[in-house]
Structure 1
Amino acid sequence: MRCTSATASPRPRNSRSGAQRHPSGGCGASRARATPPARRRRPRRPCALRPSTPAAPEPAPILKRVCGRYTNTAGVEELNDRFKVPIAGAVGTHRFNIAPTEEVLAIVSPKGEPQARMLRWGLVPAWAHDLSSSHKMINARIETVASSPAYRNLIPRGSRRALQLADGYFEWLKPERRGQPRQPFFFQVDAGVPFAFAAVWTPAKVGGEWIASVALLTCDASANRIASAIHDRMPVILADREAQQAWLDHSLGAQEALALCGPLSAARLSASPANPAVNKVDGAPEGPELLRAPG
């Protein structure tokens, strides 16, 4: 009798229904899933405290806003005589502590004839939607006024240049030690005669209302030993009648007008400590007692 050996069918590869090899090597109906050994957690090392690096000392505050307060204590008659422009009433005069965003007395020449006007101190650009930024734009640097978007269309036009009338201004000396109050100083020209800040102005329609605003110009103070002892910048002061007329001249371009904007001679400028009460921001006090330090 012929013996025939049975040939086992090959086990399908990757078949889930076929017999699976048991991890022990035997044959089982299903493969038991091996449980991975539990990971041994390393004990946490105590967090070593790194030596703290001492913080770098903060730089002393730099007073960027030049001439943040000024005076116009003269009366109407004195201003009329000084600037040869009719000034009606006493609006904008007899002021001892003029602050940003207030209405200030200025002379403008929109059509070639100088006239006195009240302007808001703090320029409101033509594209402004509100007045929120005007308190930051009370002055402009002569080095950048011809290129700055807010001012570059104003400085070439005599109709947009202005004389901001004053007879003194305040500047604050940076304290030697942090936490000390700033000491204000009061500056005068030629022992207290009225003068003009070189300024630019523009009308703007904000919220359906036309507002005319102004910003004064500042220059480097290093050439004036009186001003530079307190601050590295100073306002551009037009103390002479010729310079004031030229500033409003419509025939002068930007470069010719800026040529008038140098620092005033130290021989014509004086400074003395002022009353710290002028530092008050809200409800700024008024009165001649602000011009001198108490005691």
Structure 2
Amino acid sequence: MIFINKATYRKMINPIYRSTPYPFLKWAGGKTRLLPILQNEYMPIFTNNKIETYIEPFVGGGAVFFDIIKKFHVKNIYLSDINPEIAIAYMVIKVEVEKLISQLSEMSDYYLSLDKDERKVYYYDRRSEYNTFDKSKITRPYNSTWVKRAALTIFLNKTCFNGLYRLNKKKYQFNVPIGDYKEPRILEEKNLIAISKCLQSTNVSIESGDFSHILPYVNSKTFIYYDPPYRPISKTSNFTSYFSTFKDEDQHHLAKVFRKAHKMGAFQLLSVSDPTIFTEDPFFDNLYSDFNIKRVMAPRSISAKGESRKKIRELVVTSFA
């Protein structure tokens, strides 16, 4: 069993200690807390092999992506997420970061000038505005509404309860209540600019959709990191509701993609919650029984109940020794 101590974790999540670029969103299941363990897996692969393509089909906050691009030059990068708003945010940061910063600056300055009751009114007004957009899909081509959508995604993420992203299942309406933060870091201008430069300086493709679309880009010089929506390990940990219900059949489908990519020679790393921490449920042990599985302990970054952010156990699966 591998552990991450609290002092190391606090430094990793504090922007003061982090070099840009780093995740611009707080994200349920974000992998900042697991980076030291994940680095032990992917650092030797990138160091000892000529990796030309990096793929991350569940990019979310992008902790692993940002760490890799700070350390290695990769010719082609394919990022994707099943949540269209996340893909939109990345694309806006890439091509119109100054407009995004301008809108976030206006929101941040105004919000921070308000008292507690006024903040509630402003927050729920912005949430209602956000819910006028169809969050079930990306409307192509790129259009002027995307900057506003990206700004609202970031604003709500930084000011809502525990940084959760949750939609109701019928109408894709964002329904997370306001959080209780005195001085939320809504705008991190330096980091957004660094991310934009990074996305522009490399051949980065950003999409939203099903993870199986990655296979045409896979070969023996490919590294893939999978961070699928958590399979609930307790009654209060149902983070799969952050966008869509990722069911067991989807986990089986993902395992098939994992096996296909393995046969194509790709180096692969996958991290998931470990259901055996609460009950004898060898779901993932069975699903990836022919690959390497490690159990690791790390602090939970976001919990549906703020007081229950204790250490959790996760599985790290690799297709390489």
Flag whether TM exceeds 0.5 (same fold): no
Where is the strand percentage greater, Structure 1 or Structure 2?
A: 1
Into which bin does the TM-score normalised by the smaller protein fall? under 0.3
> TM-score, with normalisation over the residues of structure 1?
0.23
Determine which structure has more spread, i.e. the larger CA radius of gyration. Answer: 1
Of structures 1 and 2, the one scoring higher in RCO (CA 8 A, sep 6+) is 2
> TM-score, with normalisation over the residues of structure 2?
0.21
Where is the helix percentage greater, Structure 1 or Structure 2?
A: 2
